[in-house]
Structure 1
Amino acid sequence: MITLTDSEDLVDFGPIPPEINRLLQQGVDIHPSDPARARAFFRTAIELAPDVLPSYRCLFKLQNKLRDFESARETATSALFRARTQAGLDADWRRWTLAQLTAAPEYPARFVLMFLKALAFIELRDGHEDLAAAYLAQLEQLDPEDGVGASVIAALLAHREA
């Protein structure tokens, strides 16, 4: 068992159940040295509380880092489904509007944007520039202030296309 004692080293995942927070903190703590165990912590968190959105983010970030793009894509897609359901958005992300996102509860709406950005990045890294561009175009509409930093992914895409 891993024991975390220094609260300054903890990641603030927001209002999540303490047992899920412990799993995520443990996974974050060991991911550089033991990615397989970290993945198990993140998956366990998702299995125990599938509506806790930060768990998905931890898992797909690890999968992406490990260049396991198929798994990262599946996790991010599942995450987006959960977030959009909590936000009360349509099943098709292409039909979402800024007005709908603004009217949605803030917590899942923020994750909707993060998960769209993640999918754009995963698709770009996996060589699917057209799909990455589609996600980025939607993010420009939904997040005109670039609060989630999609412009970084857009710059990477523009560099690839140049």
Structure 2
Amino acid sequence: MGLDLEDGDPAGGESIPGYCGDLPAATAALLQEAAACDDERRAEFLILRAHHQSPFHFAVYLALYKFHFYRQHFEAAEQWMRAGLAASAQAAGFPLDAPAPARFAEPLAAAPRFYLFSLKALAFTLLRQQRPEEARAYLDQLQRLDPEDRIGAGPVRAVAAATA
């Protein structure tokens, strides 16, 4: 499935530290089982169960949108990306329908990092859906929030430029 969890053993502790913030061990176990599962329906069931356990955790949103994106279910992936953006915006302390801060403080905390990563993922997904103008709007927002390109949006920008 392509889910990467940083550090830790899901059987051995309270939470798993990682890119998306600490993940409860039970939720991490479900996501790891889904990542290793060959049965697509079972994998989706496990990820949705993880979502039920940890409904606002960024790693679960990441698993949900990666699951759908890699299967070319772009509309479903986009819905989960937008849900993850809303959750990370709320956690970062700004409403999704208002401008984000001009710049996120260093080092990037889990919520701003996931917000930026999700903007990049959404732009790429929109490009895959032949919606380049929308993708460029998100890439412009990403450029404003991450002018140093800490999350590596350059390749997505190159794809967007090639569709101009």
TM-score by length of structure 2 reads 0.83
Contact residue 85 and residue 96 of structure 2 kept, 8 A: no
Residue 32 of structure 2, aligned match among 22, 25, 34 = 25
Within the alignment, does 1:49 sit opposite 2:54 as a pair? Answer: yes
Alignment of 1:129 onto 2:136:
no
CA RMSD of aligned residues (A): 1.9
Q: Where does residue 74 of structure 2 map in the other structure?
A: 69
**Percentage of identical aligned residues:** 31
Question: For the Cα contact (< 8 Å) 1:35–1:62, is it kept in 2?
Answer: no
* Unmatched 5+ stretches in structure 2: 7-16
- The size of the alignment, in residue pairs, is 148
Q: Deviations over 1:87-140 (max 9, x none)?
A: 0012226x21333x3289711111111111111111111111011000000111
**Greater alpha carbon shift after TM alignment, 132-141 vs 144-153:** 144-153
1:87·1:104 contact (CA, 8 Å) conserved in 2? Answer: no
Q: Which amino acid aligns with 2:39?
A: D
Q: Which residue in 1 is equivalent to 2:5?
A: 11
Between structures 1 and 2, the one with greater helix share: 1
Structure-2 separation of matches of 1:104 and 1:130: 31
* 1-structure distance, mates of 2:118, 2:32: 20
- Residues of 2 paired with 1:134 and 1:48: CA distance? 34
Q: Which residue of structure 1 lines up, in the alignment, with residue 43 of structure 2? A: 38
Check if 1:102 corresponds to 2:102. no
Structure 1 residues not aligned, in runs of 5+: 1-9
